[in-house]
């Protein structure tokens, strides 16, 4: 099918490429020329704006880094809402439920359906087609794009109301973020008490403390001291903050979310939003006075 794709960053670019490889015809847009060039070389058509994308195709996908950018692309001047052909916008970004509802309500006035489709699985999952897709929106529109979405990974239909997929995503990412923060503190504690970090991770992964943080992030990027897992600190902070705000909004306890949010705010302040999120370990190390991983003397 003909698909528009807006936002060709770390996640968007491999997802767009998978669509091309699957035989879909793409119209692409990004503010960076170096981002669109590889897709154009593969046969994608280049658009001049989000509106231009929405003038050419009925189905538009967007993978964007922030709430403000998502709202601008969807509703702003030159945005998708002004397109002549577009029938549905599939938002692959993480915006939180309230932004998703705001965008959906505005698009509905122009008879454009909003499909929430935040994804989980990282850059590797985007390239391999093993992402988890959390989809919510009108079922007729969801059914119309299921085959295209399936090239990204496994589809989970969360519901029909706007924002439901977003709520699922921020809950998932809060658990991921808290596992990273907790594992960093636990391993730093063990190292300061004289334990070997690599042995600790082996034991944790054989026991009940195992998580994606311990079985992937620590062995791949933290113990070797490369800190290059491929997800930005600022994006993780955004997702945890969205979950914290959602919990407050619906009135459920959020003490754990608040503690996790504080750890990510500190990491973001000290290392910057563009840093790899595994640097939360360095934030803990600085306060503990230890180094986790690396070669032993």
List residues with catalytic annotation. Answer: 169
Burial 27-60 (b: 16+ CB within 10 A, else e): bbbbeeeebbeebeeeebbbbebbbbbbbbbbbb
| Distance from C-alpha of 187 to C-alpha of 69, rounded to nearest angstrom | 37
Residue pair 58/88 in contact by the 8 Å Cβ criterion: yes
- Long-range Cβ pairs for the range 148-152 (8 Å, 24+): 148/1, 148/3, 148/19, 148/22, 148/24, 148/59, 149/90, 149/117, 151/18, 151/19, 151/21, 151/22, 151/24, 152/15, 152/18, 152/119, 152/126
| Distance from C-alpha of 88 to C-alpha of 54, rounded to nearest angstrom | 9
CA dihedral for 209, 94, 23, 10, sign (positive or negative) = negative
Helices (H), the chain: 12-21, 33-41, 50-56, 67-75, 97-108, 122-128, 139-149, 164-192, 197-206, 212, 233-250, 255-271, 280-288
């Amino acid at each position: 099918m003909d698909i528009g794709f807006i936002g060709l960053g770390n996640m968007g670019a491999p997802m767009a490429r998978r669509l091309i490889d699957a035989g879909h015809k793409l119209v692409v847009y990004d503010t960076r020329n170096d981002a669109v060039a590889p897709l154009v070389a593969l046969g994608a058509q280049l658009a001049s704006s989000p509106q231009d994308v929405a003038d050419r195709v009925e189905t538009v996908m967007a993978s964007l880094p922030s709430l403000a950018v998502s709202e601008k692309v969807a509703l702003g001047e030159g945005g998708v809402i002004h397109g002549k052909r577009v029938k549905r916008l599939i938002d692959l970004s993480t915006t939180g439920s309230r932004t998703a509802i705001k965008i959906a309500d505005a698009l509905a006035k122009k008879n454009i359906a909003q499909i929430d489709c935040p994804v989980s699985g990282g850059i590797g999952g985007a390239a391999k087609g093993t992402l988890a897709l959390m989809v919510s929106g009108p079922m007729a529109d969801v059914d119309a794009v299921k085959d295209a979405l399936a090239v990204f990974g496994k589809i989970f239909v969360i519901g029909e109301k706007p924002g439901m997929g977003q709520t699922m995503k921020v809950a998932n990412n809060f658990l991921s973020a808290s596992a990273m923060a907790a594992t960093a503190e636990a391993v730093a504690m063990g190292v300061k008490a004289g334990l070997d970090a690599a042995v600790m991770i082996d034991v944790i992964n054989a026991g009940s403390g195992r998580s994606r943080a311990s079985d992937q992030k620590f062995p791949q990027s933290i113990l070797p001291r490369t800190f290059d897992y491929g997800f930005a600190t600022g994006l993780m902070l955004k997702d945890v903050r969205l979950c914290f705000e959602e919990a407050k909004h619906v009135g459920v306890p959020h003490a754990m979310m608040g503690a996790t949010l504080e750890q990510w705010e500190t990491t973001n302040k000290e290392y910057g939003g563009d840093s790899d999120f595994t640097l939360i370990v360095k934030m803990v190390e600085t306060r503990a006075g230890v180094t986790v991983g690396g070669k032993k003397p």
